[in-house]
Amino acid sequence: MTVKVGVAGYGVIGQRLADGVASQKDMELVGVADLAPTLSIRALKEKGMPYDLYLVEGADKSKFEALEIPVKGTFQDLLAKVDIMLDSSPGGVGLKNKALYEKASVKAVFQGGESDSVADVFFHGYANYEKGLGANFLKLTSCNTTGLIRAVDCLDREFGVDRVAITIIRRVADPGDYHRGLTNALQIDKAPSHQAVDLMTIMPHIEATGILVHTPVTHGHIITVIAHGRDGRKISKEMALKAFNGHPRIRVVRLADGFLGNASLFRYARDLGNPRGDMYEIGLWEDSVVEWGESVMFAINIPQESVTIPETIDAVRAAMETQTERLQAVTLTNKYLSMGKWL
């Protein structure tokens, strides 16, 4: 069975979802939908329209025609052709779209910016795959939470974790953003950070807290994580590194190799020739891993634009029940996304 997938909102996340789905041999990307001829849509045109474009309600078709951008049909047309929608619309729009999805009997996966109430299940491919099985509406964790849970789930399944404390050093804008930014300033959010709270929703057996600080950079969040061994069983540096090194969605890197920070990882992903310099894996610095009582502390890098793509594709498998077993599902996603091939 080939799952027919559509993408709503062809922006920073949407175009990466489209590419990710297109690479899955058991899925078909039917098309993408958007409202206006943004830079991303113009680039789609200049690339020769590898994906069909549908217009959401409110779009001015004449603007697309003026630019000779082919339009395949309306949002309704798209919904009539798909099994499931990946909704990366601007925050709040997803909730409105949900009514259309229900009417068209189409499932949907919403991104982290949407409110929790939009979905039946708050989902993470590795941590709670089973909860998504057969669900109609799933919501992905946000980029930071998705990457964070990868690392915590990795330790938890191997050794048991009962407490987590994080410091999120957040990149404040994406490359190319002009509508938001920070100049020569760090900014504090009210604690605990929502990422710590969200982690507890996905992994209710863990007590988590954390502080988030915004920083004026664009290439990837860095999170320091303290994971406390369950019931006081110590997690050593060696234990943690062995687990991390075996995880296909975690790339362990070293300062001595030239991975000095978030910008090195972006540079490396560009040099790899990955489209847009994207990286699906979180980076994890071997040099950052230290022990603290029964806990282990370490730093991870979250490539904010692309990190949620694998778990979103996992969500398609769960919702459509094309894979009912967690490890088989994520392994298939990894394979088609070429993740972990360095292992």
Look up residue 35 and give its DSSP letter: S
Q: Does the active-site annotation cover 154? A: no
Using CA atoms, how far apart are residues 61 and 41, in angstroms rounded to an integer? 13
Beta bridge partners of 110: 87, 139
Q: What is the footprint of a second copy within residues 171-230 (CB under 8 A)?
A: 171-173, 175-178, 180-188, 190-192, 207, 209-211, 213-220, 222, 224, 226, 228
Look up residue 280 and give its DSSP letter: -
Beta bridge partners of 253: 285
Interaction between residue 145 and a second copy (CB under 8 A):
no
Of 129 and 280, the one with the shorter C-beta distance to a second copy is 280
Of 213, 167, 166, 168, which Cα lies nearest the Cα of 187? 213
CB of 188 to a second copy, least distance (A): 5
Q: Which stretch binds a second copy (CB under 8 A): 40-48, 87-95, 109-117, 147-155?
A: 40-48
Of 244 and 259, the one with the shorter C-beta distance to a second copy is 259
Of 302, 279, 298, which Cα lies nearest the Cα of 287? 298
Of 18 and 318, the one with the shorter C-beta distance to a second copy is 18
Q: Is the C-alpha dihedral spanning 166, 169, 172, 175 positive or negative?
A: negative
Q: What is the footprint of a second copy within residues 250-269 (CB under 8 A)?
A: 255, 257-264, 266-268
Interaction between residue 110 and a second copy (CB under 8 A):
no
CB of 41 to a second copy, least distance (A): 9
Interaction between residue 303 and a second copy (CB under 8 A):
no
Using CA atoms, how far apart are residues 160 and 203, in angstroms rounded to an integer? 12
Which of 96, 234, 293, 321 lies at the binding interface for a second copy (CB under 8 A)? 293
Of 46 and 117, the one with the shorter C-beta distance to a second copy is 46
Pick the catalytic residue from 143, 225, 253, 320: 143
Residues 54-93 as x/- pattern, contact with a second copy by CB under 8 A? ----------------------------------------
Look up residue 255 and give its DSSP letter: G
Which of 49, 290, 327, 343 lies at the binding interface for a second copy (CB under 8 A)? 290
**Burial of 43 from C-beta contacts in 10 A (0-12 / 13-18 / 19+):** exposed
CB of 177 to a second copy, least distance (A): 7
How far is residue 210 from each of residues 119, 184, 227, measured CA to CA in Å? 25, 23, 12
Got the DSSP string for 138-161?
A: EEEPPHHHHHHHHHHHHHHHHH-E
Using CA atoms, how far apart are residues 244 and 110, in angstroms rounded to an integer? 28
Backbone φ, ψ for residue 53 (5° rounding):
-110, 130
Which of 25, 39, 62, 117 lies at the binding interface for a second copy (CB under 8 A)? 39
Q: Which residues belong to the active site? A: 143
